[in-house]
Amino acid sequence: MKRLETTILKSLIFNEDFARKILPFIKVEYFTDAIEKIVFNEIDSHIQEYKHLPTYESLVINFTESKKLSEDQVSESIQMIREINADKDEPTDVDWLINQTEKFCQDRALYNAIMQSVKILDDKTKKEDKGSIPKLLSDALGVSFDASVGHDYIDDSSSRYDFYHRHESKIPFDLDLFNKITKGGLPKKTLNIALAGTGVGKSLFMCHVAGSCLSQGLNVLYITMEMAEERIAERIDANLLNIDIADLNSISKQDYDRKFSALRVKTQGKLIIKEYPTASSSALHFRALLNELQLKKSFKPDIIFIDYLNICASARIKPGANVNSYSYIKAIAEELRGLAVEFDVPIMSATQTTRSGFTSSDPGLEDTSESFGLPATADFMFALISTEELEQLNQLMIKQLKNRYNDPSYYKRFVVGIDRAKMKLYDVEQTAQDDLVDTGQVDDKPLNSFGDRERLSGTKNKFGGFKV
C-alpha cells in the first residue's frame, strides 16, 4: 500500500508547483521512517542550494558519494529514489495532495508536541520549564499552509474595495465621542492605552468600559496587578448596580441580590477578574490563563483589560537583566499586542505620565513614563486629564495622542462626565464641547481668508466656559 509520505517525496522531486507551496511548512521531523528523513533532507538541501528541483540522477549521485551515510543507508535511499522514479508518470491531484499534506503536517506537529511535553514532565533534571508546554501545543495547533504571498495592488483591487466596505467587528463604547473617534469602537487584534497621572482615573475608565462590555453581553477578562480582585469587582458593582461605592458595605443582602438578579437578566456575558502579583506576570502567564479558562470554563474573552502595562513583566527579558526602561516597556507592549493578535481580541491597558506630565494640563506622547516605545507600539492612545475646574464640573477631558482608526485631529479634545462615587463615565451635553480647542467640529461661521470655516472658539482658553 502506497504511503502518503512517499507520494509527498515524489511530488517534491517532480512537481515544482507542489514543492514551492509546501516546502516552507514541512519539516524533517514530520517523517517517521529513517530513510524517508534522509531522502527529504537531500531534496530540501538541493533546492535550498540550487534553487530548483533535483533530478533523479543528481539524487542518486549525491547518495552514492555521501560520506555521512552508511552503506545500508545509501543503498536503501537509492532504492527508494528508484521506486519513486518508476512511479513518476502516475498522475496525482495536486490540490488534493496539498490538503492531505497540510493535515499530515498538522497531525505530526501535534503528535511531536505532545511527546515533547511528556518528555518535559518526565525530565528529572528540570532543564526545561513546564511553562513552555502551552506554547509547544499552541505552535503545533497553529500549523497551516498560508498560500498568500502578498497583496497584488493591481490584480487585487476588487478585494480591496470589498475590504473598504466590509463591516469590521468592533467592541463599541457606551460613550458617543469615543465611538466617533474610533469609527465604532475597538477593533480586534489591537493594543489600546490610556495615559494618565496617579489618581486621575485610569482604573475607573477601564472598570467603566469593562462594565459596559459586560452589559452588551460580551465576555470580559480583567487582569489586575495593582488592586485586589475584590476591589476591581467593587468598582464594577458600583457602576453596574448604580450604587455609590461607599454604600456597598451598608446595603442589605436582600437589596444587593435584587439588584444583581436584575443585572443578570440583562446580560449573557461573563466577567472574569484575575489578580497577579505586581511585576511578576507576563504575556506567557496571560496566555496560560486564557488557555486554562478555555479548557476549564469554555470561556473565550471578547476583550481583555490589563491594569496596567508598566507593572507587567516581559516574557523575553528576564528580571534583573541589564536593560533600559525604553527597551523593557517596549518589549512588554509588543508582547501584549502579539497576545491580542494571537487570541483575536482588543486589549485595553494604561500607563502613567511622567512627573512633568502629571502637572500638565496638556500632556502629549512625550509625557509617557519610562518608554517612548509604548506609544510607538500602541494602536490607539489617549490621555485622561483632570484639573480643579474640571473636577468642580464633574468632567474629565480626553485628548487623542495616537489613533490608527481615524484622523486624530477629529475631536482631538473632548470632555465626558464623571461620577467618581459610582465609578461611572457618561456623555455630556454638546454645549460642554463648544468652548474646547481642537474638537474637530465646524460651526456656522463664515469662511475665513483661507476659504475654511473657523474652528469653534479657536483662541479661547481651553478650559474656559465648560457647560454642565
Per-residue pLDDT 10s for the chain (468 aa) are 468 899 999 999 998 888 888 888 899 999 999 999 999 999 999 998 888 899 989 999 999 998 889 999 999 999 999 999 888 888 888 888 988 999 999 999 999 999 988 888 887 666 777 777 877 887 887 787 765 667 788 888 888 888 788 777 899 999 999 999 999 999 999 999 999 988 899 999 999 999 999 999 999 999 999 889 999 999 999 999 999 999 999 999 999 999 989 888 888 899 999 999 998 899 999 999 999 999 889 999 999 999 889 999 998 887 767 788 888 999 999 999 999 999 999 999 999 998 777 777 788 888 888 888 899 999 999 999 998 899 999 999 999 999 999 999 999 999 999 999 999 999 998 887 876 756 555 443 444 443 443 443 333 344 444 433
> Do residues 331 and 388 both lie within one domain?
yes
**Cell of residue 179, nine digits:** 465611538
What's the DSSP call for residue 27? Answer: -
> Do residues 105 and 248 both lie within one domain?
no
Three-point CA angle 245, 424, 179, nearest 5°: 160
Residue 455 resides in a domain: no
Look-up of cell digits 465621542: 177
**Cell of residue 404, nine digits:** 490608527
Residue 1 is predicted with a pLDDT of 46
Three-point CA angle 283, 184, 298, nearest 5°: 45
With residue 191 as reference, give the H or E element that holds it.
strand 191-196
> Do residues 137 and 188 both lie within one domain?
no
Contact 229, 277 (CB under 8 A): no
Residue 462 is predicted with a pLDDT of 41
Q: How far is CA 61 from CA 18, 56, 280, 436, in A?
A: 24, 9, 57, 80
Residue 155 resides in a domain: no
> Do residues 86 and 183 both lie within one domain?
no
What's the DSSP call for residue 53? Answer: P
> Do residues 294 and 340 both lie within one domain?
yes
Residue 456 is predicted with a pLDDT of 39
Q: Whole-model pTM?
A: 0.66
> Do residues 352 and 247 both lie within one domain?
yes
Dist. CA 367–CA 354, nearest whole Å = 5
The closest alpha carbon to 339, from 157, 135, 77, belongs to 135
Residue 325 is predicted with a pLDDT of 87
> Do residues 205 and 126 both lie within one domain?
no
Residue 146 is predicted with a pLDDT of 67
Contact 54, 42 (CB under 8 A): yes
What's the DSSP call for residue 183? Answer: T
Contact 350, 367 (CB under 8 A): no
Residue 324 is predicted with a pLDDT of 87
Residue 156 resides in a domain: no
Cα within 13 Å of Cα(159), Cβ side? 7
Phi–psi pair at 426, nearest 5 degrees? -155, 160
Q: The domain spanning residue 179 has which CATH number?
A: 3.40.50.300
Residue 437 resides in a domain: no
Residue 67 resides in a domain: yes
> Do residues 91 and 35 both lie within one domain?
yes
Dist. CA 172–CA 40, nearest whole Å = 51
Contact 337, 347 (CB under 8 A): yes
> Do residues 190 and 251 both lie within one domain?
yes
Contact 375, 333 (CB under 8 A): no
Residue 29 resides in a domain: yes
Sign of CA dihedral 350, 352, 357, 361: positive
Contact 299, 272 (CB under 8 A): yes
User: What domain range is 28 assigned to?
Assistant: 4-141
| Tally of domains within the chain | 2
> Do residues 84 and 185 both lie within one domain?
no
> Do residues 323 and 419 both lie within one domain?
yes
Query: What are the residue ranges of helices labelled H in 267-312?
Result: 283-297
Residue 453 is predicted with a pLDDT of 39
The closest alpha carbon to 5, from 62, 64, 80, belongs to 80
Residue 94 resides in a domain: yes
> Do residues 84 and 184 both lie within one domain?
no
Residue 102 resides in a domain: yes
**Cell of residue 167, nine digits:** 463591516
